[in-house]
Structure 1
Amino acid sequence: MIAQDKIHSLYDLDVIDRDGDRIGSVGAVWNDAAGQPAWASVRTGLFGLNESLFPLQHADLRGGRLVVPFDKATVKDAPNVDADHDEPLSRDEVDRLYEHYGLNWEETYRAYQAGGGVTNRSHQGARDYEGGREDDGARDYDGARDSTHDYDGDRESDAMTRSEERLTVGTENERAGRARLRKYVVTDQERVSVPVSREEVRLEREPVTEANRGDAYAGPDITESEHEVTLHAERPVVDTEAVPVERVRLGKETVTEEREVAGEVRKERIEADLPDQRGRHTLD
C-alpha cells in the first residue's frame, strides 16, 4: 500500500504490470475522504488525454517503478478520466472501478485503516474524489471535495504550490515502407570488330634452272592440263555466354533528424492581493 508521504514521488513513474510489462506512467493521484492515496491514473499514449485508473491498494514501489497486481490489458481497459479536467471522481465512477477490478469495499477500507497515519489533510498535487460507500458506521469513504481537501494544499498553510504541465515526448517505431530487389532482362545491340583472314591466289613465275630442270622436263612436251587450288577464308561467328559481373544487396542504415512536435500544456498562475499595494500581482 502507498503511504501519504509517497504521493509526490508517484508522478511520472513507470507503471509495471504483474508480468513485468510497462503500462505507462502515472498521471494523477486521487485521495479518499481520509486523505489516503486511493486511485491513480496511467498515461498510455503520447498525447492522449484519457488516462486509465487503477487502485493503489496493493501497488508497490520497487526500484523507482510502481508495480500493480494486474495485467496490462486489465488496466488499459479500466474506466478512464479526461486528464484535461481537474475533477473529483463521482460515486458512479468509483463503483465502476470497484466492479472492473473485482474489489471489495470493506477489505479496501480495512487495508487503508491498517496503513496508519489516517489524516484529513491531502498532499499537494493529489486529487480528492467523491463517491464510495458507507458501511455500518465505518468512516465515510466518499465525501465531496471540500475545503479540507483543497487541490492546492492544506488550508492551514499560508503557502501554495504552483504547478505546470510539461510535454512528455517520445518515439515509437512504425513501418515506413518496403524495399525489394528485382531482376529483369533487357536486350542491347553491341558492335565489336573481329579480325578475319582469307587466302588469295598469287601467280608465281620462276625461270628453268639447273635446280628445277628435272621437274620442268618431266612429262610430255606439249599437252593440256588444269590445276586447282582451294582457297580458305575466316568468317565471324557470334555467340553469347552468361558471366557474373557484380552482386547487389539491400542494406539498412539509421539516420537521425530533428522534427518538431506540439501539444497543449496547462499552467497554474497565482494572483496575490497585497494590502500595501494596489491591484493584483500575477505570478507565472
Structure 2
Amino acid sequence: MVEGDTESGEFRGHAADNEGVNQRSGDDLEDEDELRVQRSEEELRAGVREREAGQVNVRKRVRTERERIAVPKKREEVSVDRVPVDRDASPGEIGEDEVSVPVVEEEVVVDKKPVVKEEVRVRKEVAQDEEIVEEDVRKEEVDVDDASGTSRRRNDGDV
C-alpha cells in the first residue's frame, strides 16, 4: 500500500511534505488528483554456501603376524674312518699329538628393516551438480474496475 490507497480502495489524502513525491515534472495532474498503487512481487533467488559435509579420516595401525621363510644353509659334517695299515713306523712317529679340525656351519641371522610398500593418497576434487528448488512466491496483481468510462489505459512504459 502507498499513501492515498487503503485496503478498502478509498482515496485518502497525503501530507503536505509529500507533495510532488513520485510526480514527474510536466504532469498535468496535481498530487491531490492522483492515486498511485504500487504492484510488488517476490522474485525467487537461490545461491549456495559451503558447509562441511563430512570428513575423511586416514588412520594407520600396526598388526603383527607370524611369517615363515625358508633359508637354505650349509654345514660341514665330519666322518672318521679307521683304515687298517700294515707298514713300519719311523722312530719319530711315535709320540703324543693332537690335531684340531674346525667344522663350519652356517647359522641363520634374522634382521628386520622397515620398507615402504604402499602410499595412500587422499585427493579432493570438485564435482559440479545441479539441484532444482521450488518455493512459493507471492505476486500482487492490480485490477482496475472503472465504471466511469472516462479513463484511458496506459501501458507499463507510459508512467
With the length of structure 1 as denominator, give the TM-score of the two structures: 0.32
Structure 1: runs of 5+ lacking an equivalent: 1-29, 34-86, 88-108, 122-138, 141-146, 153-162, 274-284
Please state how far the C-alpha of 1:115 moved relative to its aligned partner: 9.0
Task: Evaluate the alpha carbon distance shift between residue 248 and residue 240 of structure 1 in structure 2; reply closer, same or farther with a 3 A threshold.
Answer: same
| Higher strand content, 1 or 2 | 1
| 2:61 aligned partner | 184
1:1-284 superposed matches below 5 A: 117=24, 148-151=35-38, 165-203=42-80, 219-220=93-94, 227-267=99-139
Q: Is the 8 A contact 1:180 1:250 kept in 2?
A: no
Q: Which residue in 1 is equivalent to 2:156? A: none
CA distance, structure 2, for counterparts of residue 254 and residue 190 of structure 1: 43
Could you give the per-residue CA deviations for residues 10-45 of structure 1, whole angstroms, max 9, x where no partner exists?
xxxxxxxxxxxxxxxxxxxx8666xxxxxxxxxxxx
> Do the aligned partners of 2:73 and 2:107 also contact (CA within 8 Å) in 1?
yes
Give the deviation of 1:250 after TM superposition: 3.1
Secondary structure in 2 aligned to 1:149? coil
SS at structure 1 position matched to 2:109: coil
Higher relative contact order (CA 8 A, sep 6+): 2
CA 1:113 to 1:267, structure 2 compared with 1: closer, same or farther past 3 Å? closer
* TM-align CA RMSD: 4.8
Contact 1:196/1:234, CA 8 A, preserved across alignment: yes
Alignment size in residue pairs: 128
Which structure dedicates a bigger proportion of its chain to helix? 1
Greater radius of gyration (CA):
2
- Structure 2: runs of 5 or more not aligned: 8-16, 146-159
